[in-house]
Amino acid sequence: MYRYARVLGIDPGGFLGVADTLFKDNKLHVNRTNLYHINLMLNEIKYTEPFLIPEIVLKYKVLEKIITEPYMQDINYFVVEDSYAYIHKITAFKSLNTYIQLLELLIYKYYKKRLIKIHNRLVKHVLVGKKTSIDKIEIQEAILNNKDIIIDKSIDTKYLTEHEFDAISLAYGFCKKYLRL
C-alpha cells in the first residue's frame, strides 16, 4: 500500500494535455503539466517517413513517444475521461476513442498498468460540486481556488491550457473519489 500515489491525468485529442501529480495527505500536488500538439507531431512523422504509413500507426508512434517519456515511469495510475470513450457512432468522438484505445495498449505494453476511465460528471461533482454542464472557466477557477490542489511554483497557471486544466481535474477527481491513502 502506498502512502502517496503518482497520478497522470490525461486529456486526449488533437491537443493532448497531461498532468503529472502526486496525491499525498489528501492533497493533490501538481508537479508538471504538458501539452502535446498531436496533429503537428503526426505531420512531422508523415513528412519524414519514406512511404505512406496508415494513420493508426502514425498515432501509435506519436503516443508511444509521449507515453515513454522518463517522468512517466513512476506513475501509479493513468486516468482519462470516459464520457466519449464508448461512443462509436459519432465521428467527432471516433478519433478520441482511437487515442484512448492506443493509450490503453501503450500503458499496458510499457508499464503493465491499466488506463483508468472515469466519467466527467464524477470529476465535475467532486471538483465543483455539481454534475450538470460546467464550462471550462468554472473548472479552471475551481482548480485555482481549491486548497487541496497545490500547483508547483514553477508552473505559471496563466499559461495553462484548458487541456492541462482538464488533466488536473481528472487526476483530482480520481484521487478524491477512489484513493484512500
State the Rg of the chain over Cα: 16
0.85 surpassed by pTM:
yes
- For residue range 92-105, list pLDDT tens digits in order: 667 788 899 999 99
Q: Which of 112, 140, 106 is nearest to 124 (CA)?
A: 140
The enclosing domain of 44 has a CATH number of 3.30.420.10
pLDDT tens for 43-79 read 887 777 666 778 888 899 999 999 999 999 999 999 9
Q: How far apart are CA 80 and CA 82, in angstroms?
A: 6
- Is the CB of residue 76 less than 8 Å from the CB of residue 5? yes
Widest CA span of the chain, in angstroms?
A: 52
Distance (Å, whole) CA 136 – CA 128: 11
Q: Are strands 77-81 and 4-11 parallel, antiparallel or unpaired?
A: parallel
Overall number of domains in the chain = 1
38: containing domain:
4-178
Residue 5's CB is within 10 A of a number of other CB atoms, namely 19
Q: Looking at residue 137, what is its pLDDT?
A: 86
Place of cell 496508415: 54
Ordered per-residue pLDDT tens for the chain, 181 residues: 558 999 999 998 889 999 999 999 999 999 999 999 998 898 887 777 666 778 888 899 999 999 999 999 999 999 998 865 455 555 666 778 889 999 999 999 999 999 999 988 788 888 887 766 567 888 899 999 999 999 999 999 999 999 999 999 999 999 999 997 5
